[in-house]
Structure formats: C-alpha cells, structure tokens
Amino acid sequence: MTNFQGRAALVTGASSGIGAATAVRLARLGCRVVLAARNRERLEEVRGRCEEVGGHARVVPTDVTEADQCRAAVETAIAHFGRLDIVVSCAGLSLRGYFDGTDLAAMERVMRVNFFGTLYMTQFALPHVKRSRGSLVAVTSLVGKRATPAYALYGASKFAVQGLYEALHIELKHDGVHVGVVAPAFVDTPLRRNALGPDGRPAPERPPEAFRIWPVDMCVDCIIKVIAKRKREALLPWFARPLLLIDQLLDRRLGDRILDRRFPPEREKRQAGGD
C-alpha cells in the first residue's frame, strides 16, 4: 500500500478535468505535485486549489508533444522536490469521426498527444521512479479496450498506451516500479466538447448522447486506488469488465452490432456536414 505523505508526483493534463482533480487529490493526500499542461493560467488556478487543501504544487507549462518540455517538467520535479515517486499521464485529446475522411494531420496530432506525450514523460521520469520504486499511471479509455466506430483513431492511441503500459508492467516489476492503467467510460469533463472533428478542427456538433457520464471524482478514486494498491488496471465503471468478457465470449458480434447502431456512418457524415 502506497503512503502518499511526502511523495512527489507529476500530473500531465493538470489544467483541466481528470488531471486537475487528480492533482488536487494528491496534494490533499500529502504529495507535492508538479502540474504540467499548456495553459499556464488554468494551471495556476489548480495550484491555488492544491494550496487550499494544504498541499504544495509547482506549475510547469508543458506541451507533452515536445520531448524536451517533458524532460524539463521531470527536471523541475527533481530540482524542487528532490525526488519523483508518481507520474499520472492524463493529457489527452479526443477525435470523433470515421477514419474514412479524417484528416491525416489531425490523426497524427491525437497520436502525438495521447501516445507520444505519455511515452516521453514515462521515458524521462523512469530513472527517478525506479529510484523511488514508485508508480507510473496512464489514463486510457474504454475505447482503448474495445474498438468503437467513430473513435478509431482516438481508440488506437489509447490501445497503444495500454499496450505500452502492459509491457512495462511486466518489464519494470523487477525494478520495483508499479505500472498501472485507468480506463474510464465517459467522464464529466470538457474532453468531449473539445474533441476534434474529421477535419481536425474542434467538432462544432454535439457529441452523441452518452449512456452515462461518470463524475470526475469517481475517476480520481480509481486513479488513487490503482496507485495505493499498486494495481495493474481499473475500469470505470467496474461492470465494464464483465461486459467486455461477455463481448469476447460472443466473439464481439453482438457488441459490434450495438456499437454500429450507436455510432452509424450516416450520422457521422451528417455531423461532418454540420447539420
């Protein structure tokens, strides 16, 4: 069981949603936190919230698609806190649209934020997290566990992180490093509103109604549990796991049919046309 008191954590995507709430929770639990994302103003607000709960945080404006900036964020943690125990990679960007017709540059951008952003931070943090026998945690998605139409590229970026972290879970066990993943369904954050459309611009259309949108705090609970208990994975909601198992047992045929109806190409084309 990890004790958070006195540990040093680095959270990417800390300016909004899940990353911001995770940073504040870690601060409340006694961690000193490096807050990494691009928007300095919003990071400063989160730093204020960390201090309100009695914690200590440092703002490091970081674009996770730039390897040098990820290295600098890690170096700031070491320079100010002398150690790095926990890295939570939350920075993410969604893209909604059928693959056929989606702009190549938009797909590359999503991959750079979601996959390479996590990879760079993991690479630079690793020597320090090894020293502290700490934790590396990435926030993926249920669409990184189960292929979903209209989320082909976003899902692929999350499958990539899932694959990377599953391998690291095995490789780094020998070094005493815990590696875990949290894969949520829809969570109540601005992510869906900010999703890119097939043309690479913020999708102006309303996203399809979600079956249910889960509170941010429930997602943070999962992240904290994964770190505290050094678990390899948590899904939100928990019942996604039995559903995924049933889906596999049925050879994914029923699941494909349900998802195909829920995210049909016609609707996507209408949305791309801006109706």
Ligand X SMILES: NC(=O)c1ccc[n+]([C@@H]2O[C@H](COP(=O)([O-])OP(=O)(O)OC[C@H]3O[C@@H](n4cnc5c(N)ncnc54)[C@H](OP(=O)(O)O)[C@@H]3O)[C@@H](O)[C@H]2O)c1
Sole window of 34-42, 48-56, 124-132, 263-271 interacting with ligand X (rule: CB under 6 A): 34-42
Name the residue nearer to ligand X (CB basis): 65 or 271.
Answer: 65
User: Is 154 a residue of the active site?
Assistant: yes
Q: Which of 120, 151, 154, 165 is catalytic?
A: 154
Sole window of 35-43, 74-82, 123-131, 238-246 interacting with ligand X (rule: CB under 6 A): 35-43
Name the residue nearer to ligand X (CB basis): 41 or 266.
Answer: 41
Distance between CA atoms of residues 55 and 153, nearest Å = 37
Quick check: 191 binds ligand X (CB under 6 A)?
yes
Write down the least CB distance from residue 209 to ligand X, Å.
Answer: 13
For 245, list phi and psi in degrees, rounded to 5.
-65, -45
Sole window of 51-59, 76-84, 122-130, 180-188 interacting with ligand X (rule: CB under 6 A): 180-188
- Binder to ligand X among 97, 134, 149, 184 (CB under 6 A)? 184
Name the residue nearer to ligand X (CB basis): 192 or 230.
Answer: 192
Cα 140–Cα 239–Cα 164 angle in degrees, nearest 5: 25
Quick check: 44 binds ligand X (CB under 6 A)?
no
Write down the least CB distance from residue 150 to ligand X, Å.
Answer: 14
30 in the Ramachandran plot: left (φ > 0), alpha (ψ -120 to 50) or beta? left
Binders in 50-109 for ligand X, by CB under 6 A: 62-65, 90-94
Residues 114-153, one symbol each (x = binds ligand X by CB under 6 A, - = not), give ---x---------------------x-x------------
Quick check: 189 binds ligand X (CB under 6 A)?
yes
Write down the least CB distance from residue 133 to ligand X, Å.
Answer: 25
- Binder to ligand X among 28, 30, 38, 262 (CB under 6 A)? 38
Quick check: 200 binds ligand X (CB under 6 A)?
no
What is the side-by-side order of every strand in the sheet holding 32-37?
56-61, 32-37, 8-12, 86-89, 135-139, 178-184, 233-236
Write down the least CB distance from residue 61 to ligand X, Å.
Answer: 8
Quick check: 2 binds ligand X (CB under 6 A)?
no
- Residues with active-site annotation: 154
Site residues, ligand X (CB under 6 A): 12-13, 15-19, 37-39, 42, 62-65, 90-94, 113, 117, 139, 141, 184, 186-187, 189-192, 194
